[in-house]
Amino acid sequence: MSLNADSIAAKVRGEALSSAQTSALVAGYTRGEVTNATMAEFTRAVMKHGMTRAELRALTRAMVASGSQLDFRHLGNPSVDKHSTGGVGDKITLILAPLVASFGVAVPQLAGRALGHTGGTIDKLEAIAGWKPQLTPEQMMAALADHGCFVATANATLAPADAKLYALRDVTGTVASLPLIASSIMSKKIAGGASALVLDVKCGSGAFLPSIEQARELARVLVEIGEDAQIHTRALITDVGNSLQVCEALEVLRGGGPADVRELTLALAREMLDLAGLPHADPAAHLDDGTALDFFNRMVRFQGGEPDAPLPVASHQYVVTADASGTLLSLDARAVGEASWHLGAGRTRLGESVDLTAGVELHAKPGESIQLGQALMTLHTSDVPSRGASRFDAALAALEGSYRVGAGTEYQPRESLILERI
């Protein structure tokens, strides 16, 4: 039996693998010497038995070593990355990267596209006329030297083993494996070259992880992997239409915007600035005086975008109205995300195009008083109907029963979006 076959057999039995076994397995899979069918046994074994901290450290290190790595240490200023596990309406990176960069911190952001009901940062920025997500390593260095930040798609040479393993997990039913989730996230972040990392681990109905227990465990494992890789890592556990999302982000960059978006942005910014050695910096001041907006505009222009160009507007809208008067007690974020997906804001597989104008615009939030017939949300789309069925019909079906109206005494406000800090 070969080394790799023996390693997989050991994992199937529930045994822990050595660093050498894990490295050989990942290297063999990257080179094509280990087949998808064989590697599928490994992913299922990990799903069943889990991994020790040492195994997870070795797996992540092997995935990083499968490709190239970026290195920003010669810039002379600290570099801090941010990663979100994703959720409905997440547009924080658009605000956070230029905000933290405005304090002289390098913020390299390798971001992704939407898949399913959760948002993708790259899709949101592509709503800006002319903006391009591809940057060479040399252009990334130039961006950090010029204005301190960039948001770009990951280069295919960074952790290529992760790309292969990610696709395999999708077809083997092992997407939810915590060790495989954690090694996937951290291999890309370590290869991305930042010296410190702040993680926004989301939980709730609109997030990838619905329960705080799941979010807490993932956050703990991610922080452990980061620290084992000599990257200062912290995590916040937080409660959770593309051009519409850019509009909201721009409102916050201009000193206004939704209070909850501003709250989360400032919380993450303070963590990043603290890791960069600036514990007393006041990020709120740079939102309010326009400094962060100036850095956002510089970032957009560097990547070919026109920050002053009008954002695309949907050609079709549908207004959803309240069916009763009272207090809006709850609104299901996942249902809103699925409605946006049906309107054309998301994709079922990577490579699909999205409608940059599509999404759900909310006019009321839980805790607010509403009247019968009042506009609760507006659905936006420019896509033509598919197979004779309206995109609005599918979106409205997803929103069926998604909100609840009742007496104000029934409403229980949450104290903060920030649930825990690890």
Does residue 332 carry a catalytic annotation? Answer: no
Does residue 195 carry a catalytic annotation? Answer: no
Catalytic position from the list 83, 91, 189, 380:
83
Angle value at C-alpha 239, between 359 and 128, nearest 5 degrees: 35
Does residue 342 carry a catalytic annotation? Answer: no
* Residue 174 · residue 46 · CB < 8 Å: yes
H helices of 229-288, where? 242-253, 259-275, 283-288
Catalytic position from the list 184, 187, 243, 340:
184
Give the dihedral of Cα atoms 362, 368, 370, 374; nearest 10 deg: -20
Catalytic position from the list 169, 189, 298, 380:
169
Residues with Cβ within 8 Å of 244's Cβ and at least 6 positions away in sequence, in order, are: 357, 359, 360, 361, 380
Catalytic position from the list 11, 188, 189, 216:
188
**Rg of the chain, C-alpha, whole Å:** 22
313 phi, psi to nearest 5 deg: -120, 135
- DSSP class of 310: P
Catalytic position from the list 81, 90, 123, 162:
162
Q: Retrieve residue 20's tokens.
A: 């050498």
Does residue 82 carry a catalytic annotation? Answer: no
DSSP codes joined into one string, 35-66: -HHHHHHHHHHHHHH---HHHHHHHHHHHHHT
Does residue 102 carry a catalytic annotation? Answer: no
- Catalytic sites, residue numbers: 83, 162, 169, 184, 188
